[in-house]
Chains A and B, each alone.
Chain A
Amino acid sequence: GESVGLHLPTLSVQEGDNSIINCAYSNSASDYFIWYKQESGKGPQFIIDIRSNMDKRQGQRVTVLLNKTVKHLSLQIAATQPGDSAVYFCAELGSSYKLIFGSGTRLLVRP
C-alpha cells in the first residue's frame, strides 16, 4: 500500500546551523509532494511543495529535494532559528488523489 515514512521522530540542531528533515515514500506514481510545519496549538501550515518533474525547489531559507530513484524527499532549512521549532510533516499525493501524511519529525532548535 501507499505509505509515507519519516526516518527520525526528533531532530535537535544548534541555532544558526542547517537542518535536514528526511522522508521516504512508497508510491513511485506519486507526482506531488508537500512539506507542512505544525507549531504547538496550530494546524499544519504549508511550507513548500514540489512536483515530480522537478528534483529541487527553493523557497525562503527552505529547499526541498526529491529523489525519485530512491523515493526520498528532504526538507533543508538554512540558518535554523528558534521560530523553526515545530513538527514537520511530508505529504504525498497518492493515486487516490488524497494527501497521505507521514507521522512527523519534531525539530528542536538549541540556543
Chain B
Amino acid sequence: ETGVTQTPRHLVMGMTNKKSLKCEQHLGHNAMYWYKQSAKKPLELMFVYNFKEQTENNSVPSRFSPECPNSSHLFLHLHTLQPEDSALYLCASSQEATGRYGYTFGSGTRLTVV
C-alpha cells in the first residue's frame, strides 16, 4: 500500500457507458495527477491538479472529465470511450506540483473498453 488508493482495480465498459475512476491519497500531498499507461508506451500525463485546481490538461479528449473536490480525492469520469482508450490509468500524488520530491503512484485501474 503506497498511500494512494485507486478503485476499481479493473473495469470493463461498453462504448456507450458512463463510469468513474476514483483516487484517494492519505499522504497529505497537495498535487494529484492522472496518467495513462498503454502497452509499450511511456506514461502519458493527462491532468494535473494543484490544491484542487486544474493546472494542466495535456490535450486530453473531452470524453475524459476529471474532478478534484479536495486535495485528497481525484476522479476521472468516463463517457463514450473508444476501444483505444483501453489502458492502465494511474493516479499519482506529490507534495507539491513542482514534482521536486517525486510522485507516489497508486496501483492503477485496468480499463477495457468493449
Contacts and interface: CB of A to CB of B under 8 A. Distances in A.
A34 B56 CA distance: 22
Nearest to A36: B105
A102 B20 CA distance: 28
B97 A97 contact: yes
A61 interface: no
Contact of B102 (A49, A97, A102): A49
Given A98-B45, A103-B41, A45 B105 contact: yes
Place the interface of chain B in its size category: 20 to 34
Interface in A33-90: 34, 36, 41-46, 49, 89
B99 interface: yes
Contacts of A49: 102
Contacts of A98: 45, 48, 56, 99
Interface residues of A, number: 22
B11 interface: no
B105 A97 contact: no
20 contacts: A32-B99, A43-B2, A43-B4, A43-B6, A43-B90, A43-B107, A45-B105, A46-B102, A46-B104, A49-B102, A89-B43, A97-B99, A97-B100, A98-B99, A99-B99, A99-B103, A101-B42, A101-B43, A102-B42, A103-B40
